Amino acid sequence: MEKERKLIIAGNWKMNKTVAEALDLVRGLKLELANVKEVDLVVCPPFTALCEVSKVILDSNLRLGAQNMNEHPGGAYTGEIAAFMLKEFSVRYVILGHSERRTYYGETDALVARKAQAAHAAAIKPIICVGETLEEREQGRTEAVLERQVRGSLAGLTKEQMLETIIAYEPVWAIGTGRNATPEQAQEAHAFIRRLLAELYDEGVARRVRIQYGGSVKPSNARELMSLPDVDGALVGGASLEVRSFSDIVKNSI
Ligand code: PGA
């Protein structure tokens, strides 16, 4: 299957794994996925495992991502992590505005946009998450919500920065529920987001930016979801916590 955009599959480990467990997982992935060249592969361990994981994946095709980042360059922000600290471990990607951060920690589109600026300033590629709740979908507000989130979270990004940004469409009702979006729902939302990018930037940017799908991606649905014309990868939660399921998702997507 040849696609215009290279697939990018990222594992969002969320608040799971000790350092020892993280190393077991990443060593297994390194072996299982050693020959994969067709897909950009990213693992996003918790902050506490970044240092050790970075050493193990140094000579591999796995890249490192963080799950969050502070918007300030550094200073008196107790409990927070700045971009320069992530750079120390060769972090290349950072997930921003995940629905769990929006819901539990009150992150707004404006904050996500500031974090995206800070990430780009450090040459870290943001993976910006957007997605509607079940209630919003049932009320027919999916496109309005996506438009608000995309416009707000990308605010101020230059064309060059946009080309180094990844968007993850994650319908909130599909996250951790076992209930993935149907191929039609996913394709429709992705195509909508791509049209927005054409409006906000231009057709060339819209054609090049990768849009991941996230929400109950598993080995059994990866092939169908990844083959959709506007789906360019996956952001995987639960199924990224085991070597078998994450590597099967990758292999089934090629
Ligand atoms: P899930 O999570 O794969 O467990 O549904 C996806 C995510 O939250 O990124």
Q: Round to whole Å and give the CA distance between 123 and 226.
A: 27
Is the pLDDT confidence value at 113 over 50?
Answer: yes
Q: Mean pLDDT, to the nearest integer, of 101-120?
A: 98
Is the pLDDT confidence value at 105 over 60?
Answer: yes
Q: Residue 193, class by beta-carbon neighbours within 10 Å (0-12 exposed, 13-18 middle, 19+ buried)?
A: buried
Residue pair 212/8 in contact by the 8 Å Cβ criterion? yes
Q: Mean pLDDT, to the nearest integer, of 169-197?
A: 96
The confidence score (pLDDT) of residue 4 equals 84
Identify the bridge partners of residue 213 per DSSP, sorted by sequence position: 169, 234
| Residue nearest ligand 1's atom 2 by CA | 237
Q: List pLDDT tens digits, range 33-83.
A: 999 999 999 999 999 999 999 999 999 999 999 999 999 999 999 999 999
Confidence of residue 197 (pLDDT cuts 50, 70, 90): very high
Query: Is 98 annotated as catalytic?
Result: yes
Q: Residue 219, class by beta-carbon neighbours within 10 Å (0-12 exposed, 13-18 middle, 19+ buried)?
A: middle
Q: Which listed residue (100, 107, 132, 170) is catalytic?
A: 170
Q: Mean pLDDT, to the nearest integer, of 150-175?
A: 98
Confidence of residue 250 (pLDDT cuts 50, 70, 90): very high
Is the pLDDT confidence value at 247 over 70?
Answer: yes
Q: Which CATH class is domain 7-253?
A: alpha beta
Domain parsing of the chain, residue ranges: 7-253
Find the residues whose C-beta lies inside 6 A of ligand 1: 12, 170, 175-176, 214-217, 235-239
Confidence of residue 3 (pLDDT cuts 50, 70, 90): confident
Query: How many CB atoms are located within 10 Å of the residue 187 CB?
Result: 17
Confidence of residue 1 (pLDDT cuts 50, 70, 90): very low
Confidence of residue 253 (pLDDT cuts 50, 70, 90): very high
Q: Which atom of ligand 1 is nearest to the CA of 235?
A: 9
Counting ligand 1 atoms within 8 A of each CB, the residue from 128, 235, 245 with the most, and so the one to mutate, is 235
Q: Mean pLDDT, to the nearest integer, of 202-216?
A: 97
Confidence of residue 239 (pLDDT cuts 50, 70, 90): very high
**pTM (two decimals):** 0.97
The backbone torsions φ and ψ at residue 227, rounded to the nearest 5 degrees and listed phi first, read: -90, -5
CA-based nearest residue to 128, from 106, 149, 148, 100: 149
The confidence score (pLDDT) of residue 135 equals 96
The confidence score (pLDDT) of residue 2 equals 58
Averaged pLDDT score across all residues of the chain: 97
